[in-house]
Amino acid sequence: MAVEPDLKIELGKQGVFVTTLNELYNWGRRNSVWPMQFGLACCAIEMIATTMARYDLARFGAEVFRPSPRQADLMIISGTVTKKMAPQVVRLYNQMAEPRYVIAMGACAISGGPFKQGYNVLKGIDRYIPVDVHIPGCPPRPEALIHAFMTLQKKIEAQPLTGDARPRHLDANAQGEFPVPVPAAHDLEPPVNRLVWPLPATAANTGESA
Amino acid sequence: MKSTEQVLAELQSAFPGAGVTLLVNPSPSAQHSLLLAAADALPVAAYLRDQLGYDYCSNVTGVDWLDKETIEKVKTTRTVAKQVDGVELSVEETVEETVKRVEPGYLEAVYHLYSMKHGPSDPHPPLVLRMRTANRTDSVELPSLTPVWRSAEFQEREIFDLYGIVFKGHRDLRRLLMWDEFEDHPMRRDYVDPDDYEYEPTPHDEVLKRAELHSAQAPQEAAR
C-alpha cells in the first residue's frame, strides 16, 4: 500500500517522513544494482564507456562491476551471444544470486542482429534466460544503456513484495535454475527454453494471413 | 622480382616430375597461383621457404567447389538405315545430341605466401599456393603445411572446422570455432542450418521461404 504523494509532501512540510516498507526496500535495491563485469562483443566497449567519467553510471548506484556472478545483481548481455558461448552465459546467470536482472544490450543480444541467419549465433539470449530490458542499437549509445538502466530501476521500484507479481527471490516456488543448453551435433539442445520464451504470436504461426 | 611463372620454372627444375601447375587468373590483377599435387606438396613448400625465401604464410583459406554439371549440345554424324524411295539405304545423318558431363567437385586450400627476407631491394611478389582434395565426400585429405609455416596451424584448424578438409601431419587438428560435438561443416555450399525459423518477425527472401517451410511442417506448433 503506497502513501499518497500529496499527503507525503504535505507531511514532509511538517517534518514528518512517511514511507512504506515496500518503498524503502525497493529504494535500497534499485540504487545499488551491481552489474556483472563481463563483455561479449563490441557492445561491451559502449558498456565500459557508460561506466567512465563522461557518462558515469555511478550516478545510478551501479559503479561496482563485480567480477564474480555471486556478487552481482545485474547481467548486461553486451554483445553477440554465439551458440558456443550461450551455455556459459546461462551458467553464469544460474550462478548469480537472487534478486537478479538481465539487460540484453544491442541487436545481437536481443535477436541475433546482423548475424541472425548465421550458423553460429543465437537468435537472442531471451530464448534461454528471462530478460528484463531489451535495448536495440548496433551498438546502443551509452545514453541508451543508461536509459535501459533507468527503466530497470523503475521496474524494480514498481515490484510489490507480496502477491503474484512479487520478485523471484521472494517466491519460494519460483524457478531459480535455468537449464543450460548442451552443444549437440547440429545445434544447441534444446534450441529454446519454452518456459522462458514461449512462441510469440505472429501472422505466420497463428495461421492468419499477413 | 620473380613472377609466379619464374617460381614455377625454378620449382620444375628443382623437382622434375613433381605435380606443380600454374593456374592462370585471367582478371586484370593477373595473380596466378600454383596448384600443388598433394603428394609432392611438403618438399615443394619447404623448398619455397628455404631456397626461394617465402618465409611468411599470411593467410590460409578454404574453397568449396561443388560438382559442376555442364550440358553441351554435340553434333554427331552416324550412319542410319533409311528407306529412300522404297529402297533400303544407309545414309549418313547428322544428329544433335545433348551430352551431360559432371565434373566432380573438390575442396581446396589456398595459401598466401610472402617473403620477409627479400626486402625492397629485391621484392618478391606474394605467391598463392593451392591444393585440392580428390572429392568432397570421403577423400578429403591434404598434407598439412604447418610443419613448414607454423602460422598455418590455426588457419588449417579453421578450414578443418568449417570445410572439413583433414590435414595429415597437423599436430593438433581439432575444431577451432565450432564446439567439439558439432558434426557439420558450415562453410560448405551444401550446409543446411538447423530449422529454427519458428519466429521471423520480418521475413524476406530466403528467410521467408524457410519460415513458410517451417510453419508448413510444424502445424502443431502453430496451433499452440
Number of independent structural domains in chain A: 1
CATH number at residue A51: 3.40.50.12280
By mean pLDDT, which of A70-79, A88-97, A168-177, A186-195 is the weakest? A168-177
Tell me how close the Cα of A64 comes to any Cα of chain B, in angstroms.
33
Mean pLDDT of B47-58: 91
By mean pLDDT, which of A175-184, B25-34, B123-132, B214-223 is the weakest? B214-223
pLDDT > 70? residue A165:
yes
Q: Within an 8 Å CB–CB cutoff, is residue A117 touching chain B?
A: yes
The domain in which residue A69 lies consists of 34-161
**Domain for residue A187, yes or no?**
no
Number of other residues whose CB lies within 10 A of the CB of residue A154: 11
Amino acid identity at A134: H
**Domain for residue A43, yes or no?**
yes
Partner residue opposite A199 with nearest CB, options B178, B182, B198: B198
Q: Within an 8 Å CB–CB cutoff, is residue B26 touching chain A?
A: no
Q: How confident is the model at residue B224 (pLDDT cuts 50, 70, 90)?
A: very low
Chain B environment of A189 (Cβ under 8 Å): none
**Domain for residue A1, yes or no?**
no
pLDDT > 90? residue A208:
no
Mean pLDDT of B124-130: 90
Which residues are paired to B87 by β-bridges?
Answer: B84
**Domain for residue A25, yes or no?**
no
The pLDDT value given to residue A207: 53
Residue of B nearest to A120 (CA): B178
Give the mean pLDDT of chain B. 87
Q: What's the complex ipTM?
A: 0.76
**Domain for residue A152, yes or no?**
yes
Contact B68, B102 (CB under 8 A): yes
**Domain for residue A179, yes or no?**
no
By mean pLDDT, which of A104-113, A125-134, A162-171 is the weakest? A162-171
CA B190, B195, B197: angle at the middle one, nearest 5? 120
Chain B environment of A205 (Cβ under 8 Å): 198-199, 215, 221-222
pLDDT > 80? residue A81:
yes
The pLDDT value given to residue A209: 47
Q: What does the pLDDT look like over A37-65, one tens digit per residue?
A: 989 999 999 999 999 999 999 999 888 89
Backbone angles phi, psi at B205, to 5 degrees: 45, -120
pLDDT > 90? residue B29:
no
**Domain for residue A6, yes or no?**
no
The pLDDT value given to residue A80: 94
pLDDT > 60? residue B207:
yes
Q: What does the pLDDT look like over B133-175, one tens digit per residue?
A: 998 888 899 999 999 999 999 999 999 999 999 999 999 999 9
| CA separation for the pair B145, B167 (Å, rounded) | 8
Q: How confident is the model at residue A205 (pLDDT cuts 50, 70, 90)?
A: low
- Domains of chain B: residue spans and CATH: 4-66+105-168 (3.30.460.80), 68-102 (no CATH), 195-224 (no CATH)
**Domain for residue A86, yes or no?**
yes
Contact A185 B183 (CB under 8 A): yes
Q: How confident is the model at residue B199 (pLDDT cuts 50, 70, 90)?
A: confident
Q: Return the residue matching grid coordinates 552416324.
A: B78
